[in-house]
Amino acid sequence: MDVWSLSKQGDHPEDAAQDGNRFLAANGYMGLRGVPEEAGADRFPAVTLAGVYDRFQDRWREPVNAPNGLFVQFFLDGLPLSLGKAEPLMHSAQLHYQNGVYHRRTEFDAVLIESERFASLAQCHLLADRYQMTFRRDGELTLYTGISTEIWDINGPHLFDFRHEQGEALLTEAVTGEKHITVAVAQAVRPDFEAQEAFETTAAGSFRVLRRAVRKGETLTVALFAAVYTSLDHPAPGEQAARLCLRMKELGFAACLAAHEDAWADVWRRSLVELTGDEEAARALHASQYHLNSIAPRHSDAMSIPARGLSGQTYKGAIFWDSEIFFFPMFAYTQPEIARVLLKYRIDTLPGARQKAASYGYRGAFYAWESQEGGQEGCTDFNVVDVFTHRPVRTYFRDKQIHISGDIAYALRSYYEITGDRSLLEEGGAKVILECARFYISRASARLDGDTVDLNDVIGPDEYHERVANSAFTNAMALHCLKSALMLRELFADRPEWFARLLKDLNYEQDWALIPPLIARIRRPRLRDGVIEQFDGYFELEDCSLDDVRARLRDPREYWGGDHGVAGPTQIIKQADVIALLALFPGDFTDREVADNWQYYEPRTEHGSSLSACMYALTACRIGKTDEAWELFLRTANIDVSGSSKQWAGEIYIGGTHPAANGGAWMIAALGFAGLRIRDGRPELHPSLPRQISRLRFPIVWRGERLTVEVTREGGRFLRG
């Protein structure tokens, strides 16, 4: 098995959506879906742009897909030789995880097509493709290369007022409908042959047409260089795009590829987990790390990663809690500058979080559940469609998932604990923690007839049970946030004037006095035989099996949660909830407590989210369930290899890549199998290797020092350098 690539044989149009995800080439600025160069909208091609959003009419806001600057299609004697228009003798696609290069090989009676393309990690605005044709008979070639405007949108269209320029560089510009953002794509080509050149502009795009006679046995190659800019990047995006692709044309494909490969080599040097003992697992882990590394916003100083990465417009391109809980750990330990960028996004969107809190009548910072630019809430009131009535179903994700603010505070504190760098807290992170704590102060409800304080009407990670009271996970996150606020004074004891000024600027004196009593009074969960009750009244719900609930489904696409979902009246949950709490706060629970809760909740968990399995795997490692941890690891790490993930929530398409599972795979390997933990301000190893693994080796950065973690059957150790 090649542990560094994913391959597929045959042309299967029915798999186009999934294959576009699995073979994605991305560089943080944009994602180029893994479809053939000639693909029309029916094969879901897309160049998805990070951080560029648009809303068409009353549909959901979502990321903008740019025109495709790597479009290639050709004819021999007037006959189209492309997938979907001619039957191939053979077709294969391959994605190399080591360098992010997508290879395509297609054989027809008359020609063999081979290409390799990439989204440059060295130059984030660049896409490049080397396209080669070997002819098996004489004929007249008509080759179209250009910028396709046949854009696949879920809730579009999003681009209007197309304008084309033709010359040495093709240029296509359009503007978004909502905010009138200019999107510019330029393309230049470098053929290794002479041909007659012409230009065509159609409703499908702008094209350069090359015509010439070809001979049997002749091989022709054309290199394509496409550049993408928007008016968010530069006031003259078209000029910038044209200038870049012409410069890259002069440089040549080989030089562009070499720079791209050097950039990937550096990423792998800093983050690669070497897993020895099982080739399938090694490939799955490479795939997970590739997909997460490829969408890291290295081009920005304040940007986060959408829940479906850059694989398309699913989940509205929004930033969820996935960013802080699932993406953040790998970057914090391997590339802390990227972890900083993710958190800087939250610092910069604090005004949006304050505005959201105020809109509900609360103070402080209530972060968007589905955050778009500026922290704007992308989550709607109706996120699911009933499969029977086809009517939208009211959901409460945006209103009640208040743990999001605590999740962000958790990551900010973790960043300091891992890196030892408090500058991010000084540059706004401390303010975020204080404002999140203020939100929980404002949101809490005191009991007039008792000593406890409740967080009522919330949703925890288990979204099948809405509007519950005292979610154990939510209350723990709120409690941690409040304690982190108090920790700030101790952390900045050497700068008392600065901290006092911060509290004064926030008018925080009254809130500061309320934190200690709230910490003391916030409701702790009920225990039964060592099991933490997920929320008030959970133990009184119907205790049945997953099979019982599945048997009640009348349509496989039914949504299980909400008022009428089959799971709502039962103890069956969507994903790790209490178990996520145990995984995130390992020092707060004994091994016996972890074991009791794992045994109780795992059989009652559907794992209906890609976020679930890694949390169960982390806790399974701790209690010696290495066989179970191994199976959960494979499920997590293989998710974008197999393409077998959940595709629908009701009638809503939720397909795409799974960055949270990608990050979860690293977490299982590093924090679970290797047992990397922080205790008393120092990293420790508590290995729990499954029998399938003989060695794990991976780099980390601990408070500025580069270390290598090595774990074998004999134990674990830190190596310097």
463 is an active site residue: yes
Please state, in angstroms and rounded to a whole number, the distance separating the CA atoms of residues 461 and 454.
18
The predicted model gives 550-565 an average pLDDT of 90
Q: 387 pLDDT band (50/70/90 cuts)?
A: confident
Query: Would you kindly state where each structural domain of the chain is located, as residue ranges?
Result: 5-269, 272-720
pLDDT tens column, 57-75: 999 999 999 999 999 999 9
Residue 646's alpha-carbon distances to 649, 657, 658, 660, in angstroms, are 8, 11, 11, 14
Whole-number pLDDT of residue 383: 84
Which of 116, 324, 463, 558 is flagged as catalytic? 463
Whole-number pLDDT of residue 562: 84
pLDDT tens column, 434-469: 999 999 999 999 888 888 999 999 999 999 999 999
User: Within 13 A of 92's CA, how many CA atoms are on the CB side?
Assistant: 12
| DSSP H or E segment with residue 370 | none
Give residue for tokens 């995880």.
97
CB within 8 A of 663, min separation 6: which ones? 288, 292, 322, 326, 327, 328, 329, 330, 614
Please state, in angstroms and rounded to a whole number, the distance separating the CA atoms of residues 364 and 346.
14
Tell which residue, 454, 604, 623, has the closest CA to residue 525.
Answer: 454
405 is written with which tokens?
A: 């603010």
Backbone angles phi, psi at 337, to 5 degrees: -65, -30
Whole-number pLDDT of residue 649: 61
Determine the CATH number of domain 272-720.
Answer: 1.50.10.10
Whole-number pLDDT of residue 647: 64
Q: How many residues does the chain have?
A: 721
Q: 619 exposed, middle or buried (CB, 10 Å; 0-12, 13-18, 19+)?
A: buried
- DSSP string over 167-198: SSSEEEEEEETTT--EEEEEEEEEESS--EEE
The predicted model gives 267-288 an average pLDDT of 98
Whole-number pLDDT of residue 93: 97
For strand 62-66 and strand 101-107, is the pairing parallel, antiparallel, or unpaired?
A: unpaired
What rounded mean pLDDT belongs to the chain?
Answer: 96
SS3 assignment, position 380:
coil
pLDDT tens column, 390-422: 898 899 999 999 999 999 999 999 999 999 999
Task: Give the domain 5-269 fold.
Answer: Beta-galactosidase; Chain A, domain 5 (2.70.98)
Determine how many CB atoms are found less than 10 A away from the CB of residue 448: 5
> Which stretches of 82-123 are assigned E, i.e. beta strand?
90-96, 101-107, 111-119
Angle at 404 between CA 399 and CA 405, to 5 degrees: 105
Whether residue 646 is predicted with pLDDT greater than 70 in this model: the reply is no
Please state, in angstroms and rounded to a whole number, the distance separating the CA atoms of residues 240 and 225.
13
> Which stretches of 589-663 are assigned E, i.e. beta strand?
648-649, 652-653
Please state, in angstroms and rounded to a whole number, the distance separating the CA atoms of residues 184 and 349.
27
513 is written with which tokens?
A: 């006095």
Q: 654 pLDDT band (50/70/90 cuts)?
A: confident
201 and 107 Cβ atoms separated by less than 8 Å:
no
Whole-number pLDDT of residue 1: 84
| Lowest mean pLDDT segment, chosen from 388-397, 413-422, 505-514, 709-718 | 388-397
Give residue for tokens 């008979």.
137
pLDDT tens column, 327-361: 999 999 999 999 999 999 999 999 999 999 999 99
Q: 272 pLDDT band (50/70/90 cuts)?
A: very high
For strand 715-720 and strand 676-679, is the pairing parallel, antiparallel, or unpaired?
A: unpaired
